[in-house]
Amino acid sequence: MSKKDFTVFRKTTKLVHHFISAGVTVADTVIDATCGNGYDTVFLSKLVKEKGKVFAFDVQEKAIQASKKELRFSNANENVEFFQTCHSKIKKTISPDYKGKIKCAVFNLGYLPRSDKKIVTSSETSIKAISDCLEFIMPNGLVIVTVYVGHEEGLRESKAIDEYIKSLDKKLYKLRIIRSEIDEPYILCIIKL
């Protein structure tokens, strides 16, 4: 029997990586909008390899340090540039030369696990950041967002994001939403046409 199966569907983070790997490849430039403990950053860094680039954002020094450690631990490439700032400042941080050249932007919303739950993403800045990333994404590029509804701010954020995506022009963007149980995190994929 082959070792291949569908266990990837059991865990949201694995499913997100599966979707990302469908389109991100060697030499691509990508954004990790919430680097946290660095698991997504490492995954992206390994996909794009030496010739690629990862712009990684987080508001917390602790998260940036954890991500750098994770990169060292995983022997990932030195292709990651970190910014300790709010992802709503992406447009001010990344050169406009990258507009239309980013393959994928990854948002894993919420708070850093086992850390201060008050430092959490919020709808105002998340929506601004998602919208700005859509300007940087190339045609057929992807903005992928994991939205959490299991805590108060997450629920508020998810309602605002759900409203925001309804406002996107369907001629310009294709949406795919992967939901399981009502109170579980869901994955939002915005593909630029």
Ligand X SMILES: C[S@@+](CC[C@H](N)C(=O)[O-])C[C@H]1O[C@@H](n2cnc3c(N)ncnc32)[C@H](O)[C@@H]1O
User: Which spans of this chain sit near ligand X (rule: CB under 6 A)?
Assistant: 34-40, 57-60, 63, 86-87, 108, 110-112, 119-121, 125
- The least CB distance from residue 49 to ligand X, in Å, is 19
Q: Which residues are bridge partners to 147 per DSSP?
A: 186
Give whichever of 52 and 185 is closer to ligand X, judged by the CB atom. 185
Interstrand relation of 102-108 and 173-178 (parallel, antiparallel or unpaired): unpaired
How far is Cα of residue 53 from the mean position of the Cα atoms in its chain? 14
Q: CB–CB of 142/103 below 8 Å? A: yes
Residue whose tokens read 């790997």: 21
Quick one: 144 or 190, whose CB is closer to ligand X? 144
Kindly tell me the burial class for residue 129, based on how many C-beta atoms sit within 10 Å of its own C-beta (0-12, 13-18, 19 or more). buried
For 104, phi and psi rounded to 5 degrees?
-155, 145
Cβ atoms 189, 177 nearer than 8 A = yes
**Cβ closest to ligand X, residue 107 vs residue 141:** 107
Closest to ligand X by CB, 84 vs 174, is 84
The CA distance from 193 to 2, in Å, is: 36
Nearer to ligand X, 60 or 168 (CB): 60
Least Å distance between CB 59 and ligand X? 4
Cβ-closest position to ligand X: 36
In the complex, minimum distance from the CB of residue 56 to ligand X, in angstroms, rounded to a whole number:
9
Q: How far is the CB of 2 from ligand X (least distance, A)?
A: 29
Nearest approach, Cβ of 171 to ligand X (angstroms)?
Answer: 30
Closer to ligand X by Cβ: residue 49 or 84? 84
DSSP 3-state assignment of 151? Answer: coil
Shortest spacing between CB 103 and ligand X, in angstroms: 17
Measured CA to CA, the distance from residue 76 to residue 156 in angstroms comes to: 35
